[in-house]
Every structure is written in C-alpha cells, then in structure tokens.
Structure 1
Amino acid sequence: MSTTIDINPDAESSAAAKGKAPLIGTSTTHGGGNNKGIAIFDFLLRLGAIIAAFCAAATMVTSDETLPFFTQFFQFEAGYDDLPAFQFFVITMAIIGGYLVLSLPFSVVAIIRPHAVGPRLLLLILDIVALTLNTAAAAAAAAIVYLAHNGNQSSNWLAICVQFGDFCQKVSGAVVASFVSVVVFMLLVVISGLALRKQN
C-alpha cells in the first residue's frame, strides 16, 4: 500500500509569489511615490525661485529716480549702477535666475526617474553654490538699503530715502524678493538631501 502526496507546483509558486509580492511592491512603490512627490515639489519650488530671482533683478534695474525740482543741467539722480553692491546684486540675481531655468530639465528627470541619484546629487551641489551667491548678493544689497533708509552719523552717511522715496521702495522690494529666493534655495537643499537619504 503506497501513499502519494500531490504537490501542485503552480500553487507553490503562487504561494511564494504571494509571500514576496507585498515586500517588493511596498519597497518600490512606496519609495518611488515619496521620491516622485519630492521631485514635483522641487520643480514647483524652482518655478517660484525663478520668479523671485528675475523680479529682484528687474526691480533693481528699474529703480532709477531723478529729483524733478532741479534744472536739466543740475539734477540729483539715484540709480542701481551708482553702487557696486547693487551692480553685484543685479548680475548675481540674473545668473541665479538663469541657473534655475537650466536646472528645470534635471528636475523633470528627477520626476520621471525618482530613483536616479545622479541628477539629484548634481542639483544639490549646484543649489548650494547658488544659495551662497544669492545670500551674498542679498546681504550686500540689504546693507546698502539699510544705510539709505537710516544713514550712519559716524561715517556721515545721510539717509536718502526722504528724497528718493521711489528708489528706496524699489530697491527694498528687490532685496525682499532676493531673500525669498534664499528661503526657496534652503528648502531645495533640504528636500534634495531627504530624497538622497531615502534612496540609500
């Protein structure tokens, strides 16, 4: 008398597949979903930073003001090109805006391929460099704007915002926009670091 036990290979393979499927599905789908969401947020932040950077540069460039109550031969004029700090500000913000535009394709690649390390690492390094430049330009311009509003009696710097109100208003707005882009770059660096950590 013999006893035979039938083993269904299909059932065994399906059971093995059932045991492994949730583990594989959870690791790839969940991580990919998180990284893709981070990449989309990164792209949106870059669009906001582009607007802030170009608005800061454009506002500073158009901040010239001439006092109207002098003759055409003798006039007082205030412009961004009179101060090297403001010239540095305009050039830097234009470079940063251009970099942000060029970084958009890499951000799109990070959305399409959320597990790709190369584009994310490149963006992280370049974002840190851009953050440094942006902070330097914003801080230099902010120091001049402070002197324009308040002056400095020790060094005989007069507050010119009483006379050049429109000029001071525009340069102040440009500085605020530049600090907005600084905050956005800080967020970009943080989320890039988080995305790289999730991939390890």
Structure 2
Amino acid sequence: GPLAATTPLLSEPKSQTPALAFWMGECALKPDSSETLLAAGRMFQVSGDVAAAERAWRLSLAMNHDKPHYLLERLRPHCSEGELLSWLPPRLELWVIMAETTKEGEVRKQAATQILKLVDLEKGLPAENAILVKGQAFLFLEDYSQAAPLLSEAVRVRPDDVNRRILLATALEKSGDAQAALPIYESAAKLAPKRGDLRQKISELKSSQAD
C-alpha cells in the first residue's frame, strides 16, 4: 500500500521534499483513499509538519475503511496511544477495536467510556449487539458487576458464540467468582475443542480450586 511504499523514500533525506509533493498529489487525486492519507501523514511527520500529519491521519480515520483494525495498527508505530485515541472519529467500531488492542490501561478505560456514549447513538445497531458492546465496555472498565449480566444476556441470545462465552467467563473470574466462571469456560472449550488457551485456563482454574 502507499504507506509501505514510503519506506525507501524515508531512508533518503534528499528525496523527502519530492516525496512529499508526490503524496500531496496522490491525496488530491484520491481524496477518498485512507491509504493515501496514511502515507501523506507519515511524510508530513518526517518533514516536521506535525499539524499537517495529524490532519491527514484524522481524515484517514474518519473514512469508512473496510479494515479498521489494519488502519489502527498502521498508525501505531508513528504516534502515542493517547494521540491515536484523540484522533478517533465517533465511529463505534474503531473505539471497540482501540479498547481491545491497546496495551495501556488508562487508554482502554477512556475508550470504554466513549463506547458507552456512542453505543446508544449508533443507528441501526441491533439490540443484541448493543448489549454485547456495553458488556465489553464495562469489562474494559473493570466494572464486572455490570459487565456480567450484560454478557450473560449476550450468551443467552447467541449460545454458540465462543467469544461471548469467554467474555462472560472472564467477567465472572475477574469479579472473584472462579467457580461460576469454570463451567462457562468448559462450555466454550466444547464449542472450540482446538483452543489450547481455553484448555489451559480450565486447568489453571481447577488447580486453584483444588488448592
């Protein structure tokens, strides 16, 4: 993609100015391309124009990219998690991915707080999806007493969804109720017998309960 194509240009300081002109031209020709704006933002950053880089990256995030997870991962090497969070548009999917993938606890909680604000504003979001997203948000906020009932309802609606069961079991376990979490993990393992991580989790819980 365009962002990857900037790599050889960045290694040659003399080529930075024409490279910038090239990517600015690309943005003019393809204003609807998130990839082009990602690349342009990187070139602006290298040239020292931080404000222009931020504008380009904000625009790239505001577009309805079909691979939002990829979009965030491409930006991460070039900014802090806090900066990335501040650039996100009010698009629920991006905030959920941000909360799921960030390694910074405070950023995760900020994203979760915004998720709870956005979920009720998301037009066309099925009720069952809203319940799931709210449950995830409370899980990110470490509010397990609110997360567990929502995730329990999400499992009831989609009992064959392994990830929903794992989320519910996680909420129960983190709330201190490992005894209630164990059968949920076991039911998830039956649905996904190849998941070694589930088998390990079940083994750990059984060992801790036996002690």
Q: TM-score, normalised by structure 1?
A: 0.23
Work out which of the two has the higher radius of gyration on C-alpha atoms and give 1 or 2: 1
Q: TM-score, normalised by structure 2?
A: 0.22
**Which structure carries more relative contact order (alpha carbon 8 Å, separation 6+)?**
1
